[in-house]
Amino acid sequence: MLDEQCIFCKIIAGEIPSKKVYEDDWMCVFADVEPKAKVHLLAVPKSHFKLLSEATDDQMEIISYMLTKIPRIARENGCENGYRLIINQGEDAGQTVFHLHIHILGGEPLGDL
């Protein structure tokens, strides 16, 4: 389920270059182009949807699956001492890409929220 207008769908399809660090049938993880921390990765489900509130049961299962994969991916990409996960939801959160994604931030002390 890809959206032709979506930049993350284009990255998943390989139409836009990215620095991918992990990929399987359900998810893709690549470097954020504007890193907000020493390590800043984006974990993206291959299925296109915007918000957790809009996810189908199958898509929620993929999110759950992603959360089981992220600890190892984070550890193997420089976040041995911990990391922060952020899922921006909608306008007030500053969501700019409307394909659900999980920010993985780490590689250095992040400070308070």
Q: Is 110 in the site for ligand AMP (CB under 6 A)?
A: no
Q: Could you count the other beta carbons within 10 Å of the beta carbon of residue 2?
A: 15
Q: Is 101 one of the catalytic residues?
A: yes
Question: Residues 32 to 51: which contact ligand AMP by CB under 6 A?
Answer: 32-34, 42
Which of 9, 12, 18, 83 touches ligand AMP (CB under 6 A)? 18
Instruction: Candidates 20-28, 31-39, 61-69, 104-112: pick the segment binding ligand AMP (CB under 6 A).
Output: 31-39
Distances 108 to 70, 78, 81 between C-alpha atoms, Å? 17, 9, 8
Q: Which tokens hold the place of 49?
A: 């949807």
User: Which of 94, 111, 112, 113 forms a contact with ligand AMP (CB under 6 A)?
Assistant: 94
Residue type, 22: Y
Dist. CA 79–CA 8, nearest whole Å: 23
Q: Which residues bind ligand AMP (CB under 6 A)?
A: 7, 16, 18, 32-34, 42, 88, 94-97
